[in-house]
Amino acid sequence: MVSMFSMTWSTSCAPGQQGRTEQHEQGTEGGASRDGVVLERYIEGGGRELNNTTDAAEHSAPDLVIEPAKEATKEDLQEPPLPDTNRPESTPEPSKPCTLPTTAPETRVKSWKDVQVDGQWLSLSHDGCGLTALRIVAAKSQQIKVEVQAITPGETLKLGVYNARRMYKVAQDPLLVSGQNKAFEDWISLTATIDQSGEIGLILDGNKKAVTYQLRLICDGNCKLESTRFPTVFLHGFLGTDTYLNIVDYFFELGPHLEKYGYSVFFTKVQPIAQSAQRIVKLAPQIDDIMKKTGARKINLIGHSQGGIDGRLLIAKAKYGDRVSTLTTVSSPHLGVPVPNLLIEPSKELGEKNMKQYNKDYPNDPRVKYYSWAGVSCAPLEFSCRKKYDDEVVDPIFITLYRTIQGLRGANDGVITVDSAKWGTFLGLLHADHMDEVGQIADKNNKPFKHKDFYLSEMRRLTKAGF
């Protein structure tokens, strides 16, 4: 044991200790040197013996420090606490009570968050004296149920439902419904009956400290009704008006049909025979009145024939790009009509040469989405054409113009060529002549095309696209 110990110690001594180490290796037989005994006691005693020996320091490793083991305390044996996984990530930090503002909530909204009426719970929060502003799309007469739960204990939360006129500060219409949670309750449940189709606002506020809660929206009545986000305004074409002799609609019986499904639609009236630059002078104030009546921040435009050109000039020349969301044109002469000499004088601006200049002077507004449709028809004896286009035959009053345009520019609807009608995103061909496209009763042969179904599908396209 002594020789084994001495070898171990010699490998750990400093270089200056080599001579003395060799002397200790030659200790007396059957025993060990005094230094060896000291180090044995040092190891066995956990380091305490060296401290009581006068020359122990001479034989200690200069860089070796051995701390006595500490007894584990009760705190050391306890496991660390697990993180609180039930606390929502959006939970705001605790805050001191604030002084609630006295101004109307809608005047303090900086931005609206668009949400869906789909029954899904949303986790929401806002600071003390702050608010949350949500926006949905709903149809007139629908009943929308708003449920709020899990409101931060001890906090009061107020809920108001606004129509577009009130939410965009156009008029001080009464709230559709309002309420708040009662003391010691963490929930609110209200049902609003929608007074006009389009955007509807919800504002939650009234809390003095930071608050968290959950909210969901459910349709609770008249749920089959439909709505676009913005009202849709129809623009009639050349030789048109809103209603002929106050009896026959230009867009025949279309208004009641679309309103039956829940859509907000309007029909404007401008000069039947005039340049588009003159027509938009009358059109602009009608658009202003519609926006004031509905409170809408934007509108959709659908223009037939020259009405599509009116819409383009309203946006580009009258600077209505900030108020128009979409423009859809149906057989509008964007590239002009190839036979301007056949047109009445004020409409000669629709000739190819003039429209080419219009397109340079009035480019598309990047804030507006542009869509287009083209009509296509056939002469009575063009059997291959009729077979291709659902037996569509051009109205007799268009047959001469149809053949003239066909010889110059190809396929057309009796007035406008397919190529000229394409603008923006081209959506396709309508198997209809120029009168079929608006359902005019003067055209008895409109059997393959149902204009009411077409415009209903257009409203649904706009709805799906979020317009």
Domain borders along the chain are 104-219, 230-463
User: Could you tell me the pTM of the whole model?
Assistant: 0.77
Residues 6+ apart with CB under 8 A from 282: 269, 270, 271
CB 462 within 8 A of CB 225: no
The hierarchical CATH code for the domain 104-219 is 2.60.120.380
The whole-number pLDDT of residue 316 equals 97
Of residues 385, 317, 313, the one with CA closest to residue 350: 313
| 3-state DSSP assignment of residue 327 | strand
Angle at 147 (CA atoms; ends 143, 153), nearest 5 degrees: 160
The answer to whether the CB of 40 falls within 8 A of the CB of 5 is yes
Question: Could you identify the residue written with the tokens 């001191």?
Answer: 96
Tell me the DSSP string of 330-360. Answer: ES--TT-BS-GGGS-GGGGGGBHHHHHHHHH
Partners of 178 in the β-ladder: 160
Distance of CA 427 to the CA centre of its chain: 23
Sign of CA dihedral 221, 227, 230, 234: negative
Q: Assign domain 230-463 to its CATH architecture.
A: 3-Layer(aba) Sandwich (3.40)
Q: One digit per residue, pLDDT tens: the chain, 467 residues?
A: 434 333 333 333 334 444 433 333 344 344 444 444 443 443 344 444 444 444 444 444 444 444 554 555 555 545 555 554 454 445 555 567 789 999 999 999 999 999 999 999 999 999 999 999 999 999 999 999 999 999 999 999 999 999 999 999 999 999 999 999 998 899 999 999 999 999 999 999 999 999 999 999 999 999 999 999 999 999 999 876 655 445 567 899 999 999 999 999 999 999 888 889 999 999 999 999 999 999 999 999 999 999 999 999 999 999 999 999 999 999 999 999 987 655 566 567 788 988 999 999 999 999 999 999 999 999 999 999 999 999 999 999 999 999 999 999 999 999 999 999 999 999 999 999 999 999 987 656 666 789 999 999 999 999 999 99
Query: Could you tell me which of 174, 140, 150 has the C-alpha nearest to residue 160?
Result: 174
